[in-house]
Amino acid sequence: MQNKQDGIIPNFQGTIKPTRKRDLALLIIDVQNGVLGKENETYQAATLLNNLENLIKRARGAAIPVIYIQHNEGDMKPCAPSWQIHHRVAPQHGDLVIQKANPDSFQDTNLEEELKILGVRKLIIGGLQTEWCIDSTVRRAYSLGFDVIVVEDGHSTMDSPVLSAAKIVEHHNQVFGGRFARLRKAADVDFR
């Protein structure tokens, strides 16, 4: 159940309380059972989960806030199996979970306000789906003045009627890195 006032799921109440103010956060977008789908539908799903799981572990080890965005629309209604964040990258107590109903993680959410409270100016972004929620959020974060790093092997999608998932990811990495963000392989992301 969602607390509509602050967008935080009751199981994960409260804003992250880092021991010291950090200007960096890891943003994990829509890695939910209903978006991830079967491994043969999501391009390089196993690699994606491995990379995100490792990034989350490293971020937590460096006391970097991990913020989850959870899509909340259509078949992905609160508490439905499809709505749940994948168990391999699931939030822990103290992580911020923000609900959204649009591709842009900032639209009609309190994400920007929470980032301001935390003093975050740099975002590392990964998750699903490349051409929808990752693209919209990266561009909006750039427009809001955030320093954005896209994990180039930390986002994915499915084949579309006109492009393979591999081409969609490749194209978006080229666009992101050309203007809106810096690209980093998951193994090269530095949380210092």
Coil, strand or helix: which one is 94?
A: coil
In a domain, 142, yes or no: yes
51-103 pLDDT, tens digit each: 999 999 999 999 999 999 999 988 889 999 999 999 999 999 989 999 999 99
The verdict on residue 5 lying in a domain is: no
Tokens of 149: 């790093």
CB–CB of 166/134 below 8 Å? Answer: no
Residue 187: is its pLDDT beyond 80?
yes
Query: What pTM value is reported for the model?
Result: 0.89
Q: Residue 81 is part of a domain; what is its CATH number?
A: 3.40.50.850
Nearest Cα residue to 28 out of 128, 120, 175, 156:
128
pLDDT score recorded for residue 114: 97
With 70 as the cut, is the pLDDT of residue 135 above it? Answer: yes
Task: For residue 54, give its domain range.
Answer: 10-188
47: in domain: yes
In 3D space, the residue among 177, 134, 174 whose CA is nearest the CA of residue 154 turns out to be 134
Count the domains in the chain: 1
Q: Report the pLDDT value the prediction gives residue 39, as an integer from 0 to 100.
A: 57
Domain-located, residue 4? no
Residue 61 lies in a domain: yes
pLDDT for the residue numbered 11: 37
Answer whether residue 1 is part of any domain.
no
CB 124 within 8 A of CB 189: yes
Average pLDDT, the chain: 89
Question: Terminal CA-to-CA distance of the chain, rounded, Å?
Answer: 35
